[in-house]
Structures are given as structure tokens and as C-alpha cells.
Structure 1
Amino acid sequence: MKVYGVVGWKNAGKTGLMERLVADICGRGFSVSTVKHAHHVFDVDHPGKDSYRHRQAGASEVLLASRNRFALMHELRGAPEPSLDVLLGKLAPVDLVLIEGYKRDTHRKIEAHRAETGAPLIARDDSTVRAIASDTGVEIDRPVFDLDDTAAIADFILAEVGL
């Protein structure tokens, strides 16, 4: 499966870039899935719902299904967080998986960067960051794209993965 990441510090524009890339690349006829790493505790379920009650009762996995979608929730219950490779193995085959976060993993990435954050470039110390998408000029030895030039960024990623 072909994978490509979008990384950056908080408020750098990662999620907006991901959203635009998914729409652009799907619009070109490719199938795309996404993986988003969360650094905080999250829950896609709500107290009182049947599926929540199943998990609270001790179920290791709960699959919630309807005619529009399904969601598989897996409780780690103290086990270590699964690696990105393990999680990718759970996805159905698609042309491209875009990954938001996982900046320390070894897959190829583009870095979202906004000057207003004042954050340093991750790319300066990470050769897996293959390009920068920024709202300001950046001096670096890799391609730099305007953060809002989604088509050019999509072209670059698709060329990088051979699609």
C-alpha cells in the first residue's frame, strides 16, 4: 500500500491540507484512506449508547455498523499503542493512504508550516520530510510549495509514490 504523511507542529495547517489533498486526489479518480494520530485521549462513542455499554462491560472490540458506515473500536486496555504498520494492516486496500501525524515514523512526508506559529521546521532534522508546504518563503534543500497550492502538492505526492 502506498503511504504518504503530512506532518507539522500544532496549528501549522496539517488538517486543512489533508482535507484538501483527499478531495483533490479522490477527484482525480484515486481511492484514498487516512490515518490520524491523536496525542490526546479520544472517544468516538458516547455514554449510554449500546456500543459504549459493550466496551464498558469489557469487550475487546466493538464493531458498530449501519447501511452508511461501520466503525471498529478496539480497546487497548493497557496494551501498548499499535505501530503505524500494524494500523495500516487493518485498512482495506486503496491507492493511497495519507497519514496525519506520526512525524517520527520513517515514511515519506510533507511538512505543513505556518510562519505565525513560530515553530522550527521539522525538516531541518528529518530527511523523511521530502518537501515543505508553507505560507512563507523557506530556505531549505527540498521543494517548497505554497500551503494553499493543493494541486501542486498533490502532483508532488502522487509522483513520489508512483501514481
Structure 2
Amino acid sequence: MPVIQIVGYKNSGKTTLIGKLLEIFNAMNLRVAVIKHDIHGFEADRESTDTFRHRRAGAVATAITSPWRTAIIEERETMLSGLINHFEAYDLTIVEGFKQEDYPKIVLIRSREDLPLLEELTEIRAAVFRQEAGECLDNDGTGGVLTGSGLPCYRINDVEELAKLIIVSVLSLNH
């Protein structure tokens, strides 16, 4: 099952990068699912909706569906593997977060203080640096290999190259 994780600390650019990758993959007619990890909790249902009223009345799970969209809300945490299995019919699942899981990862680095992530995490396919970071740049200013690691690295705006990396290293392994 094709899965790529986009990981990094808060405000590293994960959601923005995923949005740009989705534009590229949609243009290629790939069907992509996204799973986002939110350690702080979230509220996806609005107070004025029937499903919100059902949950407030005591339902531990609610679902709403139409010919165009389905939403399921459960009052429990779901394991990442279960969510990925739910999306197995899609061409690719992008996971935002879940740093400690063992799926192929692209790690976003905001500053030198984030560099330990590259030693702490598993299954890293590439490092992505903010524009001001110079750790991964070749002499001509393009992406290259992180010094001493052999790990491919890119600038945050090298979205087309990152999409190619995902296609080669994740999608082609599963077809």
C-alpha cells in the first residue's frame, strides 16, 4: 500500500507542502488520501449540525453520507494502520505527522535545531530544508545530498522534485 509521511515540527511547512503535492498528483489523475495527526485535539463537527447534536446526546460514533461525501466521527483514537487500511483503494496515502511510525518519510527541517530528527526517525527518504537553510545545497544552489548521510535533500519549494521522489520511491514499489 503506497504511503508517504510528511513529518517535522510545528510550523515547518507540512500542510503547505502537502497542498502543493496534492495539486501535482491531482493533475496526474492520482487519487490521494490524506491523514493528519493532531496531538492537540480537534472539533470537526459544527454545533448547528445534526451529527453534533447526536454526539452531544451520547452517540460515541456518528456518520453522515451523501452521494458526494462521507464523514465518520468516532469518540476514540484510531491507530494509523487502521486509517491507512481504510484508504487502501486510493493510489497514495499521505500522512501528516505520526513521526514515530515506520512508513517512508520526508522530514521537514526549519532550522539547525531540527537536525536531530534526521537521526531519531526511521524510514527517511529525504530531508526538506527551508529556503534559508544551506545544509543541503550543491554549489549551484540546487538540492543535493545531506553532507555525511547520503540522504537526498531539497528546498521547501522543490515540490516537483519531491513529487518525482514520491512517485519513484513509493508509488513504483507498489505497482
The two structures have a TM-score, normalised by structure 1, of 0.88
Confirm whether residue 86 of structure 1 aligns to residue 82 of structure 2.
Answer: yes
Confirm whether residue 161 of structure 1 aligns to residue 141 of structure 2.
Answer: no
Matched residues, percent identical? Answer: 30
- Structure 1 residue ranges without an equivalent (≥5): none
Confirm whether residue 102 of structure 1 aligns to residue 98 of structure 2.
Answer: yes
Aligned residue identity for 2:34? T
CA contact (8 A) 1:113 1:121 kept: no
Matched residue count: 158
CA distance, structure 2, for counterparts of residue 73 and residue 108 of structure 1: 27
CA distance, structure 1, for counterparts of residue 19 and residue 107 of structure 2: 15
1:130, distance to aligned residue in structure 2 (A): 1.6
CA distance, structure 1, for counterparts of residue 122 and residue 47 of structure 2: 44
CA distance, structure 2, for counterparts of residue 111 and residue 39 of structure 1: 18
CA contact (8 A) 1:63 1:71 kept: yes
The two structures have a TM-score, normalised by structure 2, of 0.82
- Where 1:89 maps in the other structure, the secondary structure is helix
- Deviation digits for residues 104-149 of structure 1, max 9, x if unmatched? 000010011223x843341122231221111222244100111101
Aligned residue identity for 1:36? K
Q: What residue in structure 2 maps to residue 111 of structure 1? A: 107
Aligned residue identity for 1:137? G
Aligned residue identity for 1:50? D
The root-mean-square deviation of aligned C-alpha atoms, in Å, is 1.8
CA distance, structure 1, for counterparts of residue 156 and residue 171 of structure 2: 22
- Structure 2 residue ranges without an equivalent (≥5): 136-145
